[in-house]
Structure 1
Amino acid sequence: MKNLKVIVTGLVIAMSISGMSASLSSIFRKKKNKSTSTTAEAPTQASSYCVSQGGESILVKSKKGDFRVCKLRNGTTIDEWEYYRNNAPTVQDFERQVLNSENPAAKFCIAKGGKSLKVKDRNGAEKGICQFSNGTKVDEWDYYRANH
């Protein structure tokens, strides 16, 4: 009788373990299938730029590997990264735009009849002065802020 209890207990434990491992393996199989079945990718900068310019990002599969092309509005296709490198604005373009833009305080001074002058302060730093026809001089930015 004692041997029967040991055998039954052993069988119950063995069946429990095999049942748990079967359910765990099905869980892992489901997770694996979910991760491999999705083909959605996060868009690259090149893909996003292509679409923002009115193009269409197309995945091309070849023997050498997969790559994306940008189909432009006129029907032309070009490698996305090549299109991005040749056309997307760079940091240098942004800097050039900012540095070459007019100083709004100087522009305001001139619009109000003044003359924009550049002078150096005691420390050698350059600053803008607005000089009016009556000889009055004010700091351009102080004048701009006071009137905006």
Structure 2
Amino acid sequence: MKSKGTLVVIGLMALLLGCSEQKASESPLADSLQLPANFDCAKYGGTLEVKTQGNGQRYGVCQFEDNRQCEAWAMLDGRCPPGGLKVTGYVTPAAVFCAITGGSYQVSAKSNMPQEQGTCSLSNGTVCDVWKYYNGTCGAAGDSGSAAAR
């Protein structure tokens, strides 16, 4: 009989611990991407999705209505407006990545084809092959060209 009472108490304690408040972060995804603890796409009307660059680096994208997106850090530092940029019409993931991280994409070859080539002009004046930028190999030594390299 005593063991039943002990089991009930242990069960109640486990239930209470399971209901305890989560970490201060608004989003476990934000934590995994090393975004600020208070970052929450929902505050801006979107949902956070984790995507992967060509080099395997993960990045967060705030998805909004009407096919609008922003890379999370680009939105936080003003390179992409809250509410996102419309990405309809970009053919490749590299072109989308350029746009949502604050770059300006220009097609250079094979327009509207899966092998489309282009350049990404960044706000710091750097112009990269869009695929090198997407794959994290654009920029000076030590600059990975990735969304995480700020």
Calculate the TM-score normalised by the size of structure 1.
Answer: 0.29
Greater RCO (CA < 8 Å, at least 6 residues apart): 2
Name the structure with the higher helix share.
1
Larger radius of gyration: 1
Calculate the TM-score normalised by the size of structure 2.
Answer: 0.29
